[in-house]
């Protein structure tokens, strides 16, 4: 992958491009959660295999328990409607009951597919059940069949998302929905509500962070492309007069072990509808290490590792790489 460096040979000092002059605005839910970190450097989360066809529910829960015992900062889920994946918020609720420490993240939830009031109810419930461990990643989606299934015009998805964001923020503080409709509970655990991360690949989409979000969640893209969009996020943040800096979260796909790329091919083709992303899957520990280095170099605060294989050994294989990465990048 372009802009990625060779594998480090030992501990390194974080350079000025990584150590920000302005501190990231740390959401209260992140302060509260007991997280794995090494000297405050980039955190690394792990995706759940809930979108891989055929995965069993018990495998998802065991995956979550194994991840919590490892070096990971959060567990994340994808979202589609017309597909065989598990519903993301229900999945995170089950994982919340099976874990204690690890944060839970939607990466991203396609918010316009859900009614605004029901979305508020589900999010506040998950926040309460997880004891404020939720990071709510939101996006608008783009698959027409998903919107056809719920009778929502695809062309209205951006407007719907902005209405939902306004309602979410309003209900964090248990305000009535209107003069005739009361608040949509239960009450949130943290005074600030769950962290909101917004995804997107256009400048218009990412500029929403300045008004409504706590950070930007980049999708499957190169570090350079993600950084360019994040700089637009920073500009919108400053224009809104907000202090600190927004969070910068990235993601990448991986599959480790013998014949990993070939084994991941059916899932990639089926889920994304194309084999074009096959080349971007990281299939060796060395590739994954270099990809993490490249994302740390552009200043990401957290990176999500999205699995392309459902076997539980993927948790252990990824954990080994993460341990190596974190121990080799302790700031001194």
Summarised one tens digit per residue, pLDDT across range 233-267 is 999 999 999 999 999 999 999 999 999 999 999 99
- Residue 267 and residue 307 in contact, taking contact as beta carbons nearer than 8 Å: no
How far is the C-alpha of 143 from the C-alpha of 159, rounded, in Å?
Answer: 17
- Residue 27 and residue 188 in contact, taking contact as beta carbons nearer than 8 Å: no
How far is the C-alpha of 227 from the C-alpha of 241, rounded, in Å?
Answer: 21
Q: 156: which 2 tokens? A: 């209205």
Q: According to the per-residue pLDDT averaged within each range, which of 33-42, 93-102, 169-178 is highest?
A: 93-102
pLDDT score for 8? 38
Contacts of 53 (CB under 8 A, 6+ apart): 84, 267, 270
Write down the mean pLDDT value for the chain.
89
pLDDT over 50 at 4, yes or no: no
pLDDT score for 329? 74
Could you give the domains of the chain? 28-327 (3.20.20.30)
Q: What totals of helices (H) and strands (E) does the chain contain, helices first?
A: 12, 8
For residue range 93-149, list pLDDT tens digits in order: 999 999 999 999 999 999 999 999 999 999 999 999 999 999 999 999 999 999 999
Neighbouring CB atoms inside 10 A of 18's CB total: 16
How far is the C-alpha of 85 from the C-alpha of 90, rounded, in Å?
Answer: 11
Longest dimension (CA), the chain: 64
Which of 2-6, 202-206, 315-319 is the least confident region?
2-6
φ, ψ of residue 65 to 5 degrees: the values are -65, -40
Neighbouring CB atoms inside 10 A of 17's CB total: 10
Question: Residue 276: helix, strand or coil by DSSP?
Answer: helix
Neighbouring CB atoms inside 10 A of 12's CB total: 13
Of 322, 329, 283, 286, which Cα lies nearest the Cα of 304? 322
Neighbouring CB atoms inside 10 A of 59's CB total: 17
How far is the C-alpha of 203 from the C-alpha of 209, rounded, in Å?
Answer: 11
Q: Mean pLDDT throughout 12-40?
A: 47
Of 42, 24, 31, 27, which Cα lies nearest the Cα of 244? 24
Neighbouring CB atoms inside 10 A of 182's CB total: 10
Name the pTM for this structure: 0.89
Question: Residue 75: helix, strand or coil by DSSP?
Answer: strand
Q: 315: which 2 tokens? A: 């948790």
């Amino acid at each position: 992958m372009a802009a990625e460096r060779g594998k480090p040979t030992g501990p390194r000092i974080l350079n000025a491009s990584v150590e920000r002059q302005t501190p990231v605005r740390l959401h209260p839910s992140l302060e509260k959660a007991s997280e794995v970190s090494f000297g405050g450097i980039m955190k690394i989360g792990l995706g759940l295999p809930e979108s891989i066809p055929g995965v069993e529910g018990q495998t998802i829960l065991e995956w979550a328990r194994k991840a919590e015992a490892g070096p990971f900062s959060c567990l994340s889920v994808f979202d589609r409607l017309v597909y065989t994946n598990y519903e993301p918020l229900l999945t995170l609720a089950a994982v919340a009951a099976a874990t204690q420490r690890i944060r839970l993240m939607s990466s991203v939830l396609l918010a316009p597919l859900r009614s605004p009031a029901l979305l508020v109810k589900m999010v506040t419930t998950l926040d309460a059940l997880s004891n404020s461990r939720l990071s709510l990643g939101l996006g608008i989606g783009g698959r027409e069949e998903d919107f056809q299934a719920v009778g929502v015009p695809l062309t209205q998805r951006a407007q719907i998302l902005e209405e939902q964001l306004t309602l979410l923020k309003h209900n964090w503080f248990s305000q009535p929905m209107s003069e005739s409709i009361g608040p949509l509970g239960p009450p949130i655990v943290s005074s600030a509500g769950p962290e909101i991360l917004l995804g997107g690949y256009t400048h218009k989409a990412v500029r929403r962070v300045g008004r409504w979000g706590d950070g930007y969640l980049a999708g499957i893209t190169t570090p350079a492309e993600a950084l360019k969009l994040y700089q637009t996020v920073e500009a919108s943040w400053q224009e809104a007069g907000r202090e600190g800096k927004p969070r910068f979260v990235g993601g990448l796909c991986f599959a480790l072990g013998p014949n990993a790329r070939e084994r991941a091919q059916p899932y990639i083709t089926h889920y994304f509808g194309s084999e074009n992303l096959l080349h971007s899957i990281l299939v060796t520990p060395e590739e994954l290490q270099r990809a993490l280095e490249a994302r740390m170099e552009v200043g990401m605060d957290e990176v999500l590792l999205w699995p392309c294989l459902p076997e539980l050994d993927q948790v252990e294989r990824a954990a080994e790489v993460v341990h190596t990465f974190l121990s080799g990048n302790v700031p001194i």
